[in-house]
Structure 1
Amino acid sequence: MKLKEDLNPFLLQVLHSIIWVYSAVTFLPWYFLSGASQNLSRAKRVKARPVNSTPGSPYRSVNSVHCLASVLYPGCDTLDKVFEFAKHRYKERDCLGTRELISEEDELQPNGKVFKKVILGRYNWLTYEETYLAAAHFGSGLAALGQKPKSNIAIFCETRAEWIITAQACFMHNFPLVTLYSTLGGPAIAHGLNETEVTHIITSKDLLQSRLKAILLQVPRLQHIIIVDDKPTAWTDFPRGIMVHNMATVQALGAKTQNMSKPPNQPVPSDIAVIMYTSGSTGIPKGVMISHSNLIAGITGMAERIPNLGREHDTYIGYLPLAHVLELSAELVCVSHGCRIGYSSPQTLADQSTKIKKGSKGDTSVLKPTLMAAVPEIMDRIYKNVMTKVEEMNRVQRTLFVLAYNYKMEQISKGYSTPLCDSFVFRKVRSLLGGKTRVLLSGGAPLSAATQRFMNICFCCPVGQGYGLTETCGAGTISEMSDYSTGRVGAPLVCCEIKLKNWEEGGYYCTNKPNPRGEILIGGPNVAMGYYKNEVRNKEDFFVDENGQRWFCTGDIGECHPDGCLKIVDRKKDLVKLQVGEYVSLGKVEAVLKNCSLIDNICAYANSDQSYVIGFIVPNQKQLLALAELKKIRGTWEEICNNSEMEKEVIRVMAEAAIGGKLEKFEIPVKVRLSAEPWTPETGLVTDAFKLKRKALKTHYQDDIERMYGGK
């Protein structure tokens, strides 16, 4: 993505000449001092190879030629041993940090809505030793409340320090931990709790009142609810037989009853550590059974791909849902390597976040993280917000920004760094994430090339795009930090191997030229044990090969490049055959059109008995209002979104973006519905990782589907 300059040609020529002279003068010293040749050779080297020469052979990392990695530290074959090892090695280091709440107030908005705003103070930290003790006491307290080894226990809670303390307590005492998204609806929560037959659940005061309390009568086995919030509160109006406790009380009970020797019935590698319920993007959530050995293999593979992990000052910011495998794996990687984790939320992440009172600091400004994970939806928002501000600059500022952007893009493609541009041009943008980020990890969905390149350039750090699933402990591939190519997810991690399986219906074959294509299968010690109480899906999605290795069939379509890196090109469930015979990849259409500045989110939809594609769109409010003003269309935000003339204008702009993104004519949505309300996990239309819930979106927009297809 090259940005366009808009100054007069003479001044542009002068600026380009200055840049050329600077590049020429500094070329030789910078070439040798910056290590550009080594950077380029690392980026271009072969990263994975087929195990043998037969078509469809698995690809394996060049760093795991002889065997797949499965253990992070010698002798640490269960998660409790890994944490104990980290506690001994990093005893006095900060481990988990929580920001203090100074004040909270309601703020009336111009539209009449009331937003809660907060002023937050400094981070308070628990050391590794203090965290270990807190987990040990909590585990003993749960045992004193009747929780038995190998009996399931649930956590239904926001991302916070108490979540990880609970997880470590369960790992120590061999309590399989059932994880549920905090945004799941009542029926899905009840389904998970009843299927796993839990008697104890850990939750927060807010979630108990807003979601859990309403379904307690539907969960007859539940006996104990443990609230993680500090302040003790009197709990009333609960069904008979349910006791409510505070986490601090349970920890105090555990401190009294804890035996100084290790807990009985300690886990073995094959024991279940987590039953992780998926976000339910295609229906009722499924519980994925993940063993201790599965998770250790997964975090071993991830850790190998992050350079210099465990430096004394490495700080990770935790704000994505811990019930999602990306966040849980990332935090376990950090804890096992002595990094500190400061907790945040999407509403308090930056100075401009929705819950931060104007004039006070967001979490990234205070924490200044060096490591961060993000889903593409969040990165896309940052990209669009910054580029909107660039458009608002005066002509000189905008041109200088564009020149610096294009200059840096050219330099990093040659293996060079650009310290002057980073210091003088991109410093302000970089400060949005605290100014010290050295690695950004993207996962959960494909990241567009434009957004990936923007994050590389403006945040002055590599973006490791990863690919993995709950069923593979989040591990599959991560692009190397020296690889600045876009649109790819990297080579297989050292804990697994990847092979492509022919999919005839979609026309994908492992004999395709120039690159083999097919359904992605992931095999290795990180592949989960299967779905809880779901043998039908286990037989469909998992298998064990002749060598005893376990494999998972992902349903995603991939393409392997000559250097062993993987590109995601399609998804079986996203492919729709139109009435006239053409196949449309809905995910591909959405990925291209989300780059349009007018679109914040989009769901493409097609019926196989129809001849064209339609779309549901969450428009960018600022861009759409500007377009409405240009076309002299007035009204409230809802009225503008419902205006048929605005729909036509959006289709026109969208079609231009689609042609630029090389979509075929039959792939471009012909009709659209503009949504005045954004899609958030709370609406039930996207998952916690902001993946589209196609079934829920279809139900939500059923009347519009009928209208756009001529039914109404």
Structure 2
Amino acid sequence: MGGGNIKPKIEYMQEVPNSKIPGSSAIYRNPKSKADLKSKIPSGGSTLYENFITACQKFGSVRFLGTRQLVDNKLGEFAWKTHSEVREKSQKLGFGLHQLGLTELNEEGHSFIGIYSKNRYEWLVADFACISQNITTVPLYDVQQSDTISMIVNQTNMKGIFCSSNLTSNLIKLKTQGIINAIHCIIQFEDVDLTTKSQGAEVGLKIISLEEACQLINQGQDNPPNPDSWFTICYTSGTTGKSKGAVITHRNIVTMMAGMADAGFGDINHEDSNLSYLPLAHMLDRAVCHYLTGVGGGIGFFGGDITKLKDDLAELKPTIFVSVPRLYCRFYDAINQMFNSATGAKAVLIKKALRAKQKAYKETGAINHAFWDTLVFKKVKAVLGGRVKVMLTGSAPISGDVINFLKLVFSCPFIEAYGQTETCGGSFTTDFNENEPGIVGGPVSTLEFKLMDVPDMNYLSTDVDEYGKPSPRGEICMRGEPIFKLYYKNPEITMETLDSDGWLHTGDVGVLLPHNKALKIIDRKKNFFKLSQGEYVAAEKVENAYLKSYFVSQIFVYGDSLQYYLVAIVVPEETYIRKHWAHDNGYNPEASFEDICQDPRLKLKIMEDMAKYAKEDKLLGFEIVKKISIEPKAWTVDDLLTPTQKLMRYQAKVKYQDIIKALYQEPL
């Protein structure tokens, strides 16, 4: 699967001849792309139904979905279901869904069912059941806010929903409040007690267990989807402040998986396994699970507590590890702490081992060392179970130091990938032998891309690097069969995101590096950004919450994509502060506002008041500003405001870049 010991020459993309037009770069494709950008997934299927059925025929007796068993109130070994067992269960469940009337089509020709739970065996059984009946699934995060649940349920008009028992009461509550009126049936993954059934019945909800649904009818027929059938509606807040549902067809996700297979993941097979813990409501883990399904791979589900992930990894011993930068950074910190705490001969060995591997990596690209891997790094590899042969990250940027360090201590390739919900998760990926961190490589074989000028931010397709070599910069635009179909019931945003020529405008800004023709993400076009955990933050939404504070006149919220929290530049409201704070804290009327703003007590008071409005507006944890810097001088149209009094974010970022850097360097 790669990770070799010599530096290879990697060709990430090729220019499509005569494709450059004013305002954008040339069009680029993967060197492996065919003229029609088509390819096949390993199973050969054209839908996820065919992908699953083919796998069941080929790997029927192979372990497939694993759940840790509870023994004496502790999680023990994984118990596995084979492909054949999962097929039998999901097919019966599909028959049950039909019997419950949940396959009935709406006026648009679709049927929708929600899945509201953490990752678990039953989640994928429900997914396969819906696929077998051509039902469009609508996943919801188990931590989703009630107003978002209500919006999704009412927009899709879903009649049924799967959920875990700990969330059933929330659905009953929302039904009682009259804000999810469309739902009339809940299929609970666990057994349902009489009290819960009675509570549901009182508000018009039929609540049955998954097992009961499987026993409703003994026979039935599958209703397989075709490639253009809607597989799922994945709700995302990636490019606007409000949740929007990206419609993903079977063709979309299958062609994305085909592109990833061509990118090097085609070597993954039935002997491989992955721990499913990243939310299945997000496209990343869901795509990984369906890819592994087709090759006969194993999927073990975490025990439900992310803080005990190490125990799950030790028990499963996966060969693939997919995560987000935040968690990789935790591994980096923990391993460094372990190394730094070593003393005596052990400390000497660790330093020698790291130096030796770093030297070899720099000279030849080698990430394996027979002697040092056995003597020093074997225990480190055990952190991920000891068998991981490839690590993959996506969703947000990650530091190059972290990547190189983890490559060496885990002795396996580290793949950086880039994609969006709208591209089914996978669009760009680095080569397994890549040794330059901080890039996302090239497009998968089923996509093409170009960079479009963003003149307001001075990113142009005609840009050159410091040596005068062409280095186009601009908004990343992609086209091909993996691109989503539309945003459900949101034609305006669909038209903004998908243009008439089929290009997806991602809102991300990239640069094409001249020395290796690799893409590097450098900025975000719109007023949204990702933090290191992968969450999207709507800057204006956060700012509007804090502007309710009487202490805040103007605010610029910023999030560094390598960090997991927000910082802000705050212009205080001078009149209010002089009247309600300055006098009580020892300042006379003649005191300069600049001097008042330097008082650390004022900063604490402002943050205290901001916290009150963050709570009032129900900002999520990652939306809360953790540090601020006080700017005494108000912004005007002469510096950072547009004629319509809107903040020019890019200019603000440039002006305050040193202050922002200092804020992030201060201890939290």
- TM-score normalized by the length of structure 1: 0.72
SS in 2 for 1:80: helix
SS in 2 for 1:429: helix
SS in 1 for 2:526: helix
Q: Which residue of 1 aligns with 2:410?
A: 459
Q: In structure 2, how many angstroms separate the alpha carbons of the residues matched to 1:529 and 1:456?
A: 37
Is the counterpart of residue 526 in structure 1 residue 482 in structure 2? yes
Is the counterpart of residue 537 in structure 1 residue 503 in structure 2? no
**Maintained 8 Å contact 2:570/2:629:** no
**Maintained 8 Å contact 2:277/2:302:** yes
SS in 2 for 1:92: coil
Q: Which aligned pairs between 1:250-649 and structure 2 lie closer than 5 A?
A: 250-254=213-217, 256=218, 258-259=219-220, 262-264=221-223, 266-278=224-236, 283-307=241-265, 309-345=267-303, 347=305, 350=308, 362-394=311-343, 396-413=345-362, 414-416=364-366, 417-514=368-465, 515-545=471-501, 550-562=502-514, 563-573=516-526, 586-587=558-559, 589=560, 591=562, 594=563, 601-606=564-569
Q: In structure 2, how many angstroms separate the alpha carbons of the residues matched to 1:586 and 1:504?
A: 21
Is the counterpart of residue 229 in structure 1 residue 190 in structure 2? yes
Return the offset for 1:47.
2.0
Per-residue CA deviation, residues 608-656 of structure 1 (Å, 9 max, x unaligned), is 999xxxxxxxxxxxxxxxxxxxxxxxxxxxxxxxx969x99xxxxxxxx
Q: In structure 1, how many angstroms separate the alpha carbons of the residues matched to 2:341 and 2:289?
A: 38
User: What amino acid does structure 2 have at the position aligned with 1:415?
Assistant: G
Which residue, 59, 63, 85 being the options, matches 1:130?
Answer: 85
Q: Which residue of 2 aligns with 1:49?
A: 14
Q: In structure 2, how many angstroms separate the alpha carbons of the residues matched to 1:590 and 1:494?
A: 27
Q: Percent identity?
A: 28
From the superposition, tell whether residues 220 and 590 of structure 1 become closer, same or farther in structure 2 (CA, over 3 Å). closer
From the superposition, tell whether residues 212 and 172 of structure 1 become closer, same or farther in structure 2 (CA, over 3 Å). same
Q: In structure 1, how many angstroms separate the alpha carbons of the residues matched to 2:461 and 2:238?
A: 30
SS in 2 for 1:454: helix
User: What amino acid does structure 1 have at the position aligned with 2:52?
Assistant: F
Q: Which aligned pairs between 1:237-248 and structure 2 lie closer than 5 A?
A: 237-238=199-200, 239-248=202-211
- TM-score normalized by the length of structure 2: 0.77
User: What amino acid does structure 1 have at the position aligned with 2:277?
Assistant: Y
From the superposition, tell whether residues 169 and 513 of structure 1 become closer, same or farther in structure 2 (CA, over 3 Å). same
Is the counterpart of residue 156 in structure 1 residue 116 in structure 2? yes
Per-residue CA deviation, residues 543-563 of structure 1 (Å, 9 max, x unaligned), is 242xxxx32111001111233
Q: Which residue of 1 aligns with 2:577?
A: none
CA RMSD of aligned residues (A): 3.3
SS in 2 for 1:253: coil
From the superposition, tell whether residues 295 and 706 of structure 1 become closer, same or farther in structure 2 (CA, over 3 Å). same
User: What amino acid does structure 1 have at the position aligned with 2:333?
Assistant: K
Is the counterpart of residue 173 in structure 1 residue 133 in structure 2? yes
**Maintained 8 Å contact 2:229/2:250:** yes
From the superposition, tell whether residues 233 and 49 of structure 1 become closer, same or farther in structure 2 (CA, over 3 Å). farther
Q: In structure 2, how many angstroms separate the alpha carbons of the residues matched to 1:684 and 1:605?
A: 15
In the alignment, structure 2 segments of 5+ residues that lack a partner are 466-470, 529-538, 541-555, 574-598, 635-668
Return the offset for 1:508.
0.5
Return the offset for 1:100.
0.6
**Maintained 8 Å contact 2:302/2:309:** no
**Maintained 8 Å contact 1:349/1:363:** no
User: What amino acid does structure 2 have at the position aligned with 1:391?
Assistant: N
**Maintained 8 Å contact 1:309/1:337:** no
**Maintained 8 Å contact 1:465/1:489:** yes
> How many residues of Structure 1 are paired with residues of Structure 2 in the alignment?
557
Per-residue CA deviation, residues 381-437 of structure 1 (Å, 9 max, x unaligned), is 111122222222226533432332232122123133312121111111111110100
Range with greater deviation from structure 2 (370-379 or 560-569): 560-569
Per-residue CA deviation, residues 133-169 of structure 1 (Å, 9 max, x unaligned), is 1111111101100112521111111111111111111
Q: In structure 1, how many angstroms separate the alpha carbons of the residues matched to 2:188 and 2:229?
A: 27
Q: In structure 2, how many angstroms separate the alpha carbons of the residues matched to 1:481 and 1:200?
A: 43
**Maintained 8 Å contact 2:398/2:438:** yes
SS in 2 for 1:505: helix
Return the offset for 1:53.
5.1
Q: In structure 2, how many angstroms separate the alpha carbons of the residues matched to 1:442 and 1:87?
A: 29
In the alignment, structure 1 segments of 5+ residues that lack a partner are 1-33, 105-118, 353-361, 578-583, 595-600, 611-642, 649-670, 687-691
Per-residue CA deviation, residues 163-206 of structure 1 (Å, 9 max, x unaligned), is 11111111111111111111111000110001000110000001
Q: Which residue of 1 aligns with 2:61?
A: 92
**Maintained 8 Å contact 1:320/1:346:** no
SS in 2 for 1:237: helix
Return the offset for 1:684.
5.7
Is the counterpart of residue 203 in structure 1 residue 163 in structure 2? yes
Q: In structure 2, how many angstroms separate the alpha carbons of the residues matched to 1:425 and 1:120?
A: 30
Q: Which residue of 2 aligns with 1:685?
A: 620
Range with greater deviation from structure 2 (46-55 or 188-197): 46-55
From the superposition, tell whether residues 101 and 709 of structure 1 become closer, same or farther in structure 2 (CA, over 3 Å). farther
**Maintained 8 Å contact 1:302/1:333:** no
Q: In structure 2, how many angstroms separate the alpha carbons of the residues matched to 1:270 and 1:431?
A: 43
Q: In structure 1, how many angstroms separate the alpha carbons of the residues matched to 2:179 and 2:56?
A: 40
Q: In structure 2, how many angstroms separate the alpha carbons of the residues matched to 1:248 and 1:167?
A: 15
**Maintained 8 Å contact 1:310/1:338:** no
SS in 1 for 2:190: coil
Return the offset for 1:312.
3.5
Return the offset for 1:607.
6.4
